Amino acid sequence: MGSTKTPVYWLTNLLIGDGSINFQVNTLDAETLVFLADEAEKKNPDTAIKLLNEYTKDPKLAAKQKFKISKNISDDAKREQLLVSIYQDVNKNPGKQFDGYEEVSLDMGILYYKKNSFRPAVEALSSFLQNHAQRDEKRAEGLYYMGKSYLKLKDNDNAVKNYMELLESVPNSVYASAARTELEEIQWRKSLTR
């Protein structure tokens, strides 16, 4: 096949070989990069991340694609590592802030909550809620996990505040009924101590 290494060669190598990147990644147009990253992710997400890390031509696109890949990583430790990397990179370099980048903070907050790291969860979720004012399901999810985190920290006042905001701002959310249940439980526990 000669010494010419093209994206087609790389894709073929990826599918049947070791997936090493033997061409100038920054010569790719956006569409080709997305295609190659998607194909690489199917076989080995680490290879897709490596490809995107080398792509400096459009940093927003690379960061957005890495975040998309993070959604499909089932290993919590690996997912956390990638999310933290994206979060730090995007916050250090505002030129990499893609549309919807604040969702990285939401995902990190939920991940921390699931790991019983409630203070870092509150910090990440606070960052998300400050940057995502839109009254939608994502905001409801952030408010719900913020309330749950505060409950775990035994800060009922802030838990109630977040649940109430959820009910007022996104009353038809799938999280609204869970927030109502949490509020009822807080009230019930409060009545036991009177």
Question: In the chain, what are the domain boundaries?
Answer: 1-73, 102-194
Of 48-52, 136-140, 187-191, minimum mean pLDDT range:
187-191
> How far is residue 80's CA from residue 57's CA, in Å, rounded to a whole number?
26
Q: Are 86 and 63 in contact (CB under 8 A)?
A: yes
**Tokens read off for 176:** 């609204």
Q: CATH says 102-194 is which class?
A: mainly alpha
Dump pLDDT digits (tens) for 79-118.
889 999 998 898 899 889 999 999 999 999 999 999 999 9
C-alpha triplet 162, 166, 170: angle, nearest 5° = 165
> How far is residue 17's CA from residue 6's CA, in Å, rounded to a whole number?
15
Give me the pLDDT at residue 125, please.
97
| pTM score of the predicted model | 0.83
> How far is residue 71's CA from residue 90's CA, in Å, rounded to a whole number?
17
> How far is residue 129's CA from residue 125's CA, in Å, rounded to a whole number?
6
